[in-house]
Structure 1
Amino acid sequence: MQAWRVHRNGEPGEVMRLEEVDRPVPGAGQLLVRVRAANVNFPDALMVRGKYQVQPPLPFTPGVEICGETADGRRIIGNPALPYGGFAEYAVVDEAAALPAPEALDDAEAAALHIGYQTGWFALHRRARLTAGETLLVHAAAGGVGSAAVQLGRAAGARVIGVVSGPDKARAARGLGCDVVVDRRSEDVVAAVKEATGGRGADVVYDPVGGDAYTWSAKCVAFEGRILVVGFASGTVPAPALHHALVKNYAILGVHWGLYVRKDPAAVLDCHDRLTTLAAQGVVKPLISERVPLAGAADAVRRVADGTTTGRLAVLPGAPPGEDTDRSAAVREGAGR
């Protein structure tokens, strides 16, 4: 089979190599899965660079989120058991972590209704206790993680303000349903949020970016607001001024979805059921901006790492080069409406 492998850490375009390898052999309690779609996540780039908190042994195949087919014909989604990741024709998944793929979604969409949406669900509902009528501020609102939070926030009855970079992402954020969109390249984020909320600020802030985004968040969070620390896509880990949190009376909440997988797996299963229901109702639908063949995986990882993409990029191991070009263009056009 074909699989992308990393023999040394570095930039995706330099160290990811497409190779012919044997199919992985699943261990006890594991499944061999034919990969139907693998979504590109920011942690894929961090793993390739050797900068993720959990680092698989070299060599490894990246790809932390897939929709696949088991030997007995079940369509499932899940996180591959590294080092046998999803950017390959076959991957290995722990049987306990294999979830039924939502019937309402295609393969790429089904794969994306996992890490980002589960993270968003636990962040908004378990950590921040978001309620209807509150204002939710989402940084990187047109990205893979942010777009999930936007849809989940709207499903919860919140008013959503999306922060984006550039007019194309602003159009995508409006298409996702943001009530207010702020372009950080041309607008003062703090002033825009204060104006949109009548000076009160945002009740909940969803921050997968860190760096300047966190600084803005602390300045425009409301009284008794909650800042959700989801990730650091900017590459800068902020150092919160705790005296500021004390004086303004807001909470800083960490969100690590992987801990729920280990410490409360029943909650993960319940969350999957809730997300599947929302997908069936058409309330949430992952934004897949581009579908690429297996040969395009390294370039897709690079672009996600560079922050130039909108929504999710999906790798389809069974698709020949160029097969899905027209569909990808249609998806991008629809997202910009």
Structure 2
Amino acid sequence: MWSNPAVAYGAVMIGVLGHASSEFVAVYSGVAGPEVSSWRYLLGGTGLLLIALAVPGARDMITPLREAGGRILVLSLLGVSLAYLLFHWALDHATVIQVATLVTTIPIWVGLANLVINRQPVSAAKWLTGAAAVLGVALLLTDGMLGRLMDAGGSLVGLLMALGCAALVAVYSVLMKPIIGQYGALRITALSMFLGGIGLWLLVGVAFGVWVDPTALPDRPPREAWSLLAIALWNTTLTQYLWIGGLAHAPDITRASYLFFLKPVIAAALALLILAQPVTAIQVTAIAVICGAVLVEFLWQRRRRPAPARG
């Protein structure tokens, strides 16, 4: 099945739809962000672990835990538990469009993390696109903000949380890359999300006094129950599986990854049409600047890559 390029690219696109609709589903549920994050990764991480256990090449979880368990646990708490607590908490303060757009800056943060952690030089193109992304972030930070910086209901806190999430996910991605290269993307992602889900359950329980009980899900109001189930199984389990599988089997992984730039556009459409959250001219400009900056970075990398030799 995966050998068909159309299937691989289609899986990536479905994965993008799952990523792009996660902010919408979280807000639509009406449940507070920290609690949503606990439900999402406790159930979604378990679901992805079950899928990995059903795949022959990914079911050995003991070996990576025995050989790199400490690093996997610490990175899971950093890049899943803390990062996605900030992500969902941000949605309590900022709009779907703002959060989705800022999360799209992750590739820019990856470049900075590579510079600090691996001493990998940052090219002139990376500095240029990074500066453009910063401009887009600045547009979002100042969109209607100057007159209400002291307003507790303003979105500045949410925007900073979203930026924190993007930075943490970038650091997690850079540090986890060699472990994924050794043991495989599906196996490590499933293991990391499962451990991160347990970490989120403990963090939200201790910090917010909300101890998520999966057996109580049928007792929730229908809108909450279906939304929480959707964000766990659709936006997390199935989305991650299709995204990882599609990228792994796509003939051109870079081209496939371009689809991720549709995330803020899809999120904006859902927020506008269903949640009735307004889209301002500044937000549209910020989406164009940030997505354009990240897209130029990928295109520049591909342009500089040596052409394959022809026999």
TM-score exceeds 0.5: no
TM-score, normalization by structure 1: 0.26
Structure richer in helix, relative to its length: 2
TM-score, normalization by structure 2: 0.28
State the structure with bigger RCO (CA 8 A, min sep 6), 1 or 2.
2
